[in-house]
Every structure is written in structure tokens, then in C-alpha cells.
Structure 1
Amino acid sequence: MTFDRRTFLSAAGCALTAAALPSTAAAQGVISLPDDLVANDHATVTAVATAQPVVAMTFDDGPHPSLTPQLLDMLAARNIKATFYLIGNRVAQFPAITRRIAAEGHEIGNHSWSHPFLNGRSDLSVIREIDATTEAIFDVTGRPPVTFRPPYGAFTNAQRRMLHAHRRLPTILWSVDPQDWRRPGSGVIASRIVSHSRPGAIILTHDIHSGTIAAMPATLDGLTGRGLRFVTVSQMLGWPLWQSRHFRRVAAS
């Protein structure tokens, strides 16, 4: 579903219902997100209707020990900021790369702990996957993710509403999918992204495939050549930069 930017920021909050969930965060406490983060929010975002010539590049499934640093070099050379949806167990495995992503001004989102199909899992199992990843990202970067992307996009409407109600995380999907995971070749990946992107697009890619990384110079330069600028998901939603947010840990209830 695509939301008009003004409606997205000002509409009355959705009426979300879900059974109360017990706290599953680590014993040292849970992350308290600021109230303004979710005021008048919606549970699912695929794209944002905007007159501004902006797109959000997103990269899933990392960090990868060699490909993600290559990608970061390409982004830095072009002064482009992106959003990385990281897998929790890979954050724990590659904390230095995770810190670099955050230090260079990119946003980090939650992509679950172990990349399972979540649509068949219980609410409690879903929350445990997401809480573990939030804790890992917070421990490495000092701030938790503020959006969630489900592996494979496999997340029911009821699960999206449940997550939004209990963890205040909107589910971020996408409007441009080059299907880079099928490894069609770097030229095909770049062509699909450049030709199908529109203002407000959220572009799905995966920085664990060498073909995707090889496609990025033509992709990034091609989108720039079309007059499009790059923003993070938070910027697309009209929220403050992820790095500018201040979070605190509070005791689990």
C-alpha cells in the first residue's frame, strides 16, 4: 500500500488490536522508543507518494564480510546514504562492519535474527526473533532499529499490526524488486532498478550477492542521472535521521 506523504504524517492512528505479549527482551531490559516515532503511524509501508525526487535504496541480509565493505566504499564515493536491513546473527558475527554502516551515516533496520519464514510462526516466536535482533543492533551501535523488514516479505497483515502495536515498528516492504537474488546479471539488475524507480520508491536489493554489488555503480549513477536523490527510510517517512535519535534502555516490565 502506498501512502500520501501528508496523510502518512498526519492521519489518525490505526486501530490495532492484538493479544498482550509477555516481554521477551534480554534480562537487562528493553529498548524504549520515543513516542513521536509512532504518532499517527501505519503498520505497513511499500512506498511514499511524494513530489520530491527521492528514492530509498535498501540492502537486505547483511552484513557480508567482503561485499558490504565494497558497497560502503561505493556509497561513500558518491555521498549516498542507504538503509541496511541486517540479520541479527550476522550483526553479532560482524560487529565492526555493522558499526561502520552506522558510523558512515546509513540507517540500520531489523531483518530478524535468523531469516526464517515468519508468516507461519506464533506472535511470541516473531517477537523473540525481532527482539533479539534489536538487542544485537543496539549493543553494537548504541541505538535500536526503528523499522522492520520481514524475510521474504512473508508477514501477514495481522502480524504487521501486532508488531506495530507491541514494538512500535512499521513493516517496510518495497515498490521496486529487481529480483537480484535470482542472479540475473549485474546489467539486468541495474536496468530493472533504474527503469522502474519513481519518486518515493523503496528499492529492494541484497548486499550478499556479488552481482548486486557489481550492479551498483550503474544503478546509483543511473538513478542520479534521472535526477533522483537518495534518502534513508526514516527520511522518506519524514522522520529524523536515525543517527540523530536518542534512545534509552529501560527495565523490562
Structure 2
Amino acid sequence: MPITRRSVLQLSATGALLTGCSTAGGQARPGAPSAPATATATATAAEPTKPPSLPDQVEHGPRTRPRLALTFHGQGDPAEAEAVLAAAEKGGARVTVLAVGTWLDAFPQLAARVLRGGHELGNHTQTHGDIGAMDEAAASAEITRCAARLRRLTGSQGRWFRPSQARLTTPQVVALAQRAGYPHLLSYDVDTFDYTDPGPAAVRAAVAEQAGPGSVVSLHFGHAGTVAALPGILDDLHRRGLRAVTTSELLT
């Protein structure tokens, strides 16, 4: 069958649609984990791919890379917080600190200290109440008041919000956090229960037994057992070939 001008135009349009399908997707948050896009005839190896969107509540990162995130709920004795940060830095780790607003009010110098060490700082509500049980106005205030503290102290409200007193929270809290500028809430898949003060050996064992590539580990400032456990935790991760990075690095 002879190729006419009309058939050439139809083939060109079809090719354009196929190319669009290979690269299209929903809006993706910068730094989210990426999956290779389907190559097109004109694509080059150097072209970036578009990462998929993260879930509303992020529990872990990619399981295919040898890194994980150690996340700390920011409250308690500032000396113990300083000790955790120093131990992380000595061990070559970067951590994510989800700070409680009242803690920042009491110890404002710690916001700059966290960032100065190359760590990441985020929002863990203003008073650490049970945000999932609050009405809309109270829950919104918990998020926005802590965000305002972070902006005042650092110029940024941080990328991450973690709800208080729950690993996963309610749709209402998710919507309020997104309205406040946190598209994705930070949960975790490893809970060390260090806040129950089980002792350094138990905290270390919890990470060793449960954490793997892509894990987001929940830990807490303000507990001496956590401070004592951290050097051993980092030694264990190093022997396993795992590197502790900030949550944003984990999800990049």
C-alpha cells in the first residue's frame, strides 16, 4: 500500500502518543525514589527520569540501596541530644530530628546545632499530644505552631512532619499537614521502643534485628540508653554495609 502524506502524519501522531506514555506520570516530590522510565528512540542515557510520587505517609525508602534513616523524636535533656548528635557525627552518620515545638522554645540553640552537623530537622507537633484524637482546630494548631517555630529559628519549616503518639495517623491529620505545607508525613517501619528505657543492649538489638536497606528507624532524644546504644548501632550498620543518611537522602 503506498505511503501517503496522511499516513505519515498518522504515524507521527501515534509515535508522539507512545513517547508521552513512556514518560508521563503524576506530580512527583523532588527527592523521591525513582524507577527507570521506558526509553524512547530519542532519549539519551544522561536524561533524568521522573520519580514516582511518595505515599501520604512514608514508612520506608527503597529496599534496593544500602542505606537507611535513623530518625529521632526531638525532646528531652539537651545534653543527651548533643551526645546523640556527636556520636552520629563521629560514626559518619546523618540523622533526621523531628522536633517538638515546646522543646525548641526551651532550647532554641539546638535547631542550629542539628543543621550545623549536616542533619535534617522537621516538625513533630507543638506539644506532643495525641494529635489523632484532637479536633480539627487543635490538630491544625499543633502542626502550624511548630512549623512557625522552625521557620523563625532556621528560615524553613522543614520537609517532614511526623504525627505524635502514633506511627500512622488519621486522614484528618494528613490533610491538615498537607495544607500546612507537608505533602508527605514521615512514619517508620522500625520501632525500637527506646522511650520505654529497655537498656542500651535492647535498643541496639532492635535495630540489628529489624532494620535493613530502606528502613526508617524510630529513636528518641532524652533517653540515656539510646545515647549509649548509638555507637554500637552504627558499628553494626557499618559491618552490614549500611549507611545512615537523612530521610531526604534516603528518598532521593
TM-score normalised over the length of structure 2: 0.76
Kept in 1, the 8 Å contact 2:143–2:177? The answer is: no
**Of the candidates 187, 193, 199, which is equivalent to residue 173 of structure 1?**
187
Question: What is the number of equivalent residue pairs in this alignment?
Answer: 209
Aligned residue in 2 for 1:196: 210
Does 2:231 align with 1:213? no
Match of 1:145, SS? Answer: coil
Aligned residue in 2 for 1:225: 239
With over 3 angstroms needed to count, the CA separation of the structure-2 counterparts of 1:221 and 1:214, relative to structure 1, is: same
Match of 1:66, SS? Answer: helix
Does 2:119 align with 1:106? yes
Shift of 1:134: 0.8
Cα separation, 2, equivalents of 1:154 and 1:220? 24
Runs of at least 5 residues in structure 2 that lack an aligned partner in the other structure: 1-23, 33-51
Shift of 1:124: 2.2
CA deviation profile, 1:47-81 (whole Å, cap 9, x unmatched): 12331101000010326321011111111212211
Aligned residue in 2 for 1:48: 61
For 1:93, the aligned partner's letter is A
CA deviation profile, 1:82-123 (whole Å, cap 9, x unmatched): 000110011111111221111111101100000000111122
Kept in 2, the 8 Å contact 1:118–1:155? The answer is: no
Structure number with the bigger relative contact order (C-alpha 8 A, sep ≥ 6) is: 1
CA deviation profile, 1:174-197 (whole Å, cap 9, x unmatched): 111111111111011101101211
Kept in 2, the 8 Å contact 1:160–1:171? The answer is: no
Runs of at least 5 residues in structure 1 that lack an aligned partner in the other structure: 1-9, 15-34, 239-253
For 2:92, the aligned partner's letter is N
Cα separation, 1, equivalents of 2:167 and 2:65? 30
Cα separation, 1, equivalents of 2:75 and 2:59? 21
**Of the candidates 112, 135, 142, which is equivalent to residue 122 of structure 1?**
135
With over 3 angstroms needed to count, the CA separation of the structure-2 counterparts of 1:50 and 1:237, relative to structure 1, is: same
| Farther-moved stretch of structure 1 (169-178 vs 39-48) | 39-48
Give every structure 1 segment of 4 or more consecutive aligned residues whose post-TM-superposition deviation is greater than 2 Å.
10-14, 35-42, 61-64, 154-157
Cα separation, 2, equivalents of 1:61 and 1:52? 27
Kept in 1, the 8 Å contact 2:132–2:173? The answer is: no
Aligned residue in 2 for 1:133: 146
For 2:156, the aligned partner's letter is R
Aligned residue in 1 for 2:80: 67
Cα separation, 2, equivalents of 1:55 and 1:205? 13
TM-score normalised over the length of structure 1: 0.76
Shift of 1:233: 0.9
Kept in 2, the 8 Å contact 1:58–1:84? The answer is: yes
